[in-house]
A and B are shown apart, each in its own frame.
Chain A
Amino acid sequence: MNKISPGFLVEIGRIFLVLLTMAAPGLAAPITFNTALPVTQGQGIFRFQAKHFAFVDGATPADRDLSVEALPLVGVWGATPKLAFFGVVPWLDKELTVSTPSGRRSRGDSGLGDVTILARYTGIQRDSPAGTLRVAPFFGLELPTGEDDARDALGRLPQPLQLGSGSWDPLAGLVVTRQTLDWQADAAISYQANTEANDFEFGDEARLDLSVQRRIWPRDLGPGVPAFLYLVLDSNLIWQQRNEVAGRDVADSGGTTWFLAPGIQYVSRRFVVEGAVQLPVAQDLRGDPLESDWIATVSTRFNF
């Protein structure tokens, strides 16, 4: 098997980290990130997601191919009308395949990934008839619950192919939501400070997310609580610092990616069903990394 370079694996790790943070907790609203809409006190929401990530190698003869399947389970609980707690438990299956003189070879693992917990507090709430404006800071921590010492026939998997980072990674951000009966807009900024584990440190990550949703059905609202059908357009601008190995920067790591994600969302009283495809509009990555091809998300959420 061809040797897989550390820089290349680091780049895979960068991509993988980006994908994990796209396992958005949440309510009815954006599909790829969180919202500031309220969670009723004493009430919970479950969200089941299925995500497929495809990355392709456009530059090297190794014809590298990375696919990741993620099934994040999100639980949300309203502690008070303004304070909500979120938990994201991902199941992951990732596989890296490269061309070698003896054929295609793969390495990877599957299982529980790193759990993320979040607390969100509604700092500003401006309600009006059939409309609301919410501003909510949030704070969280990614816990090292995923396996970070997995091995295969070739020995220990490189850190980026492990299911867990092994590190405790705090994150913070702010989300703003404006919602009316006809449309909704969300904006979020966030920062995740990744820490070192196993002599490896993923670069810190900053995000700017935007979303607009437009109700397309029913055109005119009747009595009661009709289900809504929304067209959704999410935008994800993601910047990542260089990774470090043994305290030294990895040259082929870090960079900026901008995704646009058109989607559709069916919202009823008890559940939401939605789907979106994230397409890379621009990628300014350092070195010679894999390129994002597409990311598909289908999801459902339940009130309980």
Chain B
Amino acid sequence: MQRIVLFIGVLAFLVLGPVAGQAQVIQATVSVEGMSCPFCAFGVEKKLRNVPGVGSVEVDMAQGTATLKAADERFIAVDQVPEAVRRAGFTSGTIEVVAEGTLRIEEDEGPRRVLLVAQDAETTLLLVNLSDAEAERVATLAERGATLRMTGELHLHADELPGLEPDEIEDLESA
């Protein structure tokens, strides 16, 4: 009987346990509220360039945004973006990101969580506000261990994983 219980436990872990993979935020577009003149844009650019992983920053005055692109072989520490904007003297608004990685589904503690993870990265994104169709698709992709590219709005909360509300999910292996 003990062997049967152990077998079922191992099987459940393999099926429901974490699926590790690589992920990285390769682009982030942050809304910089309060930025209204070119002279002010310089400080925003300068602070955002210092965010780890950022290779380039492009500010768009008309849109009131700054777009960060990752340096080669690196990922953007997107959780540091709001603080960089604050240090420039402005307020960080919405952040749209493009992130690549694999999915990990956690449901051993509390509610089921779907994570876009990086094996060696500091950034793990929690997928939030998934529709039923998206959740079903994500579950299928997670089982396959597919490498994905997701585009969507980032939700940052203190003491919680950054949340990603995906607008687009692209399977890079089938593309």
Contact = CB atoms under 8 A, between A and B. Distances in A.
> Do A and B share a complex?
yes
A131 B61 contact: no
Interface stretch (A38-46, A61-69, A86-94, A281-289): A38-46
Interface stretch (B31-39, B142-150, B158-166): B31-39
Given A38-B89, A125-B34, A224 B39 contact: no
Contact of B36 (A42, A130, A268, A269): A130
Q: Which of A78, A128, A129 has the most CB of B within 10 A?
A: A129
B43 A303 contact: yes
A50 interface: no
B62 interface: yes
Given A38-B43, A81-B86, A81-B88, A179 B60 contact: no
B42 interface: yes
Contact of B38 (A42, A43, A180, A269): A269
Nearest to A78: B89
Q: Which of B45, B46, B86, B87 has the most CB of A within 10 A?
A: B87
A251 interface: no
A58 B136 CA distance: 88
Given A129-B64, A129-B93, A179 B46 contact: no
B40 to A, nearest CB: 7
A263 to B, nearest CB: 16
B47 interface: yes
B87 A40 contact: yes
A38 B34 CA distance: 10
Contacts of A267: 37-39
A179 B39 contact: no
Contacts, number: 106
A291 B77 CA distance: 61
B106 interface: no
A225 to B, nearest CB: 5
A39 B37 contact: no
Contact of A40 (B31, B34, B89): B89
Interface string A182-199: 001000000000000000
A278 to B, nearest CB: 23
Interface in A147-174: none
A37 B62 CA distance: 19
B59 interface: yes
B58 interface: yes
Interface residues of A, number: 39
B38 A38 contact: no
A81 B89 CA distance: 5
Interface in A209-266: 221-228
B47 A40 contact: yes
Contacts of B89: 37-41, 78, 81-82, 122
B62 A270 contact: no
Contacts of B64: 129-130
A82 B60 CA distance: 24
A21 interface: no
A226 B62 CA distance: 9
- What 10 A-B pairs have minimum CB-CB distances, sorted nearest first? A38-B89, A40-B43, A127-B34, A132-B34, A221-B62, A127-B91, A28-B39, A127-B33, A41-B87, A269-B42
19 contacts: A37-B37, A37-B40, A42-B87, A81-B86, A127-B33, A128-B33, A129-B64, A130-B36, A132-B34, A132-B36, A181-B36, A181-B37, A181-B62, A184-B37, A224-B59, A224-B61, A225-B61, A267-B39, A303-B39
Interface of B: 31, 33-47, 58-62, 64, 86-91, 93
Given A127-B91, A228-B37, A301-B39, 15 more contacts: A28-B37, A28-B38, A37-B40, A40-B87, A42-B87, A81-B86, A81-B89, A129-B93, A130-B35, A221-B61, A224-B61, A225-B59, A225-B61, A228-B38, A268-B39
